[in-house]
Structures are given as structure tokens and as C-alpha cells.
């Protein structure tokens, strides 16, 4: 079977994480998201709390924090943000070599841009739809939900633009941009299956679409 990797960039509240999990479950392949932080903590012997604070955050000289001890990836002296990016980049390349997988966020499309069989997606949705989702997810009001969305999007945008050296959410940065409020997970899964099949990939099927 030909190898393939699907990377998913996403706006906050657009359902990108859930989509990745759903597609991975359907195909019986791994989906890497938060697992990348946990694995990075193990590899570099870092504290999870430190990595969570730095995850998908660009290095900032006003928030300069270095690992408490030397690590095998960047040595000593680099900000935790940079250290985490280096560790996650290495893990992402290793996961992609093992076989088909889905990777959410963390500039995976840039890190794997030379990888054969890569399909890069960006999932977005209108603010109204995302506000409703965040209100439901966090049991908060409309004002707070919109604030959380804008803050999260700003962080992801700055991180992506800084490390990927491309423009977050721009059509030139990805293979496909998908509005999750207009295309269902089932429809997108069918589109991806058709694309992968056309590329000669043999996919798992449970016959649910027959």
C-alpha cells in the first residue's frame, strides 16, 4: 500500500481535531495531536506543564523561558517554544515514515512538505458556527466564546507564520481549504477516499457507503 499522510490546520472551534480523529478511526490509522506534546515530554524529559504552555506558541523574547536543563535536541539556551518545535518536528517526521497517519496542527504540512503522499488540509468555519461550538464545548456565553476564538486563532496564526514561514489560513499554503459548516465529516471523508484511491492508495472500507 502506498503511504500517505494527511495534515490538518484548523481555526479554533472549526472541528479540525474531531475530523482528524474521525478520519483516523475510519481508516484504522493513528491521529497525532496532543500525543505530540506527551511524546515530546518523554523524549526530552520535560515537564508536561512547560510544554503545554509553549505548544503552538512562537518564541517571544518577552516571554523567554528555557528548559531547566540541557536536552539532546537543542542543547541549552533555546526558548522552550523553539525546543518543543524541534522535538515535535523530529517526531512528526518519524511518524510519517512509519506509515499512513493524520497529524493535526504544529506546522506538520511545512515539516513534511517533501513527503510523498502528503495531503494538507485547512479546516475553517464562519465565526457564528464556531461561537456556538465553543459555547457548547466550554459551557460559556457568546462574548467569552468569541474572545477565546480570537485569542486561539491569533496564537495559531503567529506560530504558523513564524515557524512555517508561510501564511496561516491562506489558500496558497495548503492543498485544500474546507468550510466545516458546509461540508460534513462524512462528505469530506468520501472526498479524501476518492483522492487517495485516484493516487493508488488501497484504503480500508467497512461497506458503510455501499
Query: How deeply is 9 buried, as exposed, middle or buried, from its count of CB atoms within 10 A (0-12, 13-18, 19+)?
Result: buried
User: How far is Cα 86 from Cα 63, in angstroms, rounded to an integer?
Assistant: 18
Residue 147 falls inside a structural domain: yes
Residue 156 falls inside a structural domain: yes
Residue 202 falls inside a structural domain: no
pLDDT of residue 57: 66
Q: Which has the minimum average pLDDT: 5-9, 39-43, 120-124, 130-134? A: 39-43
Give the DSSP H/E element, type plus range, for residue 8.
strand 5-10
What is the domain-level CATH number for residue 9?
3.40.50.300
| Block residue for cell numbers 515537564 | 47
Nine-digit cell string for 44: 526530552
Neighbours of 32 (CB within 10 A): 22
Residue 209 falls inside a structural domain: no
Kindly report, residue by residue over 61-81, the tens digit of the pLDDT: 434 454 445 555 554 557 777
Residue 210 falls inside a structural domain: no
Kindly report, residue by residue over 178-207, the tens digit of the pLDDT: 999 999 888 988 898 899 889 888 877 654
Residue 206 falls inside a structural domain: no
| Residue 208 pLDDT > 70 | no
User: How far is Cα 176 from Cα 19, in angstroms, rounded to an integer?
Assistant: 14
Q: Residue 34: beta bridge partners?
A: none
Decide if 121 contacts 174 (C-beta within 8 A).
Answer: yes
User: How far is Cα 57 from Cα 60, in angstroms, rounded to an integer?
Assistant: 8
pLDDT of residue 59: 56
pLDDT of residue 64: 42
Residue 98 falls inside a structural domain: yes
Give the DSSP H/E element, type plus range, for residue 108.
helix 108-111
- Mean predicted lDDT score pLDDT of the chain: 84
Residue 17 falls inside a structural domain: yes
| Residue 114 pLDDT > 50 | yes
Based on the structure, what is the number of domains in the chain? 1
Q: Which domain holds residue 169?
A: 5-197
Kindly report, residue by residue over 120-173, the tens digit of the pLDDT: 999 999 999 999 999 999 999 999 999 999 999 999 999 999 999 999 999 999
Tell me the whole-structure pTM to 2 decimals: 0.84
Amino acid at each position: 500500500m502506498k503511504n500517505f499522510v494527511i495534515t490538518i490546520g484548523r481555526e479554533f472551534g472549526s472541528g479540525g481535531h474531531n475530523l482528524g480523529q474521525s478520519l483516523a478511526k475510519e481508516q484504522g490509522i493513528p491521529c497525532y495531536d496532543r500525543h505530540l506534546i506527551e511524546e515530546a515530554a518523554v523524549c526530552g524529559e520535560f515537564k508536561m506543564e512547560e510544554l503545554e504552555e509553549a505548544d503552538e506558541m512562537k518564541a517571544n523574547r518577552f516571554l523567554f523561558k528555557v528548559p531547566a536543563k540541557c536536552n539532546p535536541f537543542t542543547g541549552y539556551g533555546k526558548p522552550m517554544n523553539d525546543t518543543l518545535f524541534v522535538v515535535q518536528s523530529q517526531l512528526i517526521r518519524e511518524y510519517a515514515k512509519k506509515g499512513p497517519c493524520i497529524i493535526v496542527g504544529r506546522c506538520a504540512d511545512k515539516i513534511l512538505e517533501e513527503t510523498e503522499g502528503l495531503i494538507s488540509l485547512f479546516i475553517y468555519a464562519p465565526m457564528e458556527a464556531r461561537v456556538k461550538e465553543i459555547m457548547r464545548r466550554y459551557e460559556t456565553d457568546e462574548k467569552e466564546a468569541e474572545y477565546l476564538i480570537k485569542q486561539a486563532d491569533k496564537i495559531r496564526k503567529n506560530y504558523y507564520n513564524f515557524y512555517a514561514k508561510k501564511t496561516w489560513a491562506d489558500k496558497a499554503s495548503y492543498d485544500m481549504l474546507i468550510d466545516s459548516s458546509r461540508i460534513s465529516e462524512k462528505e469530506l471523508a468520501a472526498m479524501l477516499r476518492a483522492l487517495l484511491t485516484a493516487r493508488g492508495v488501497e484504503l480500508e472500507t467497512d461497506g458503510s457507503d455501499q
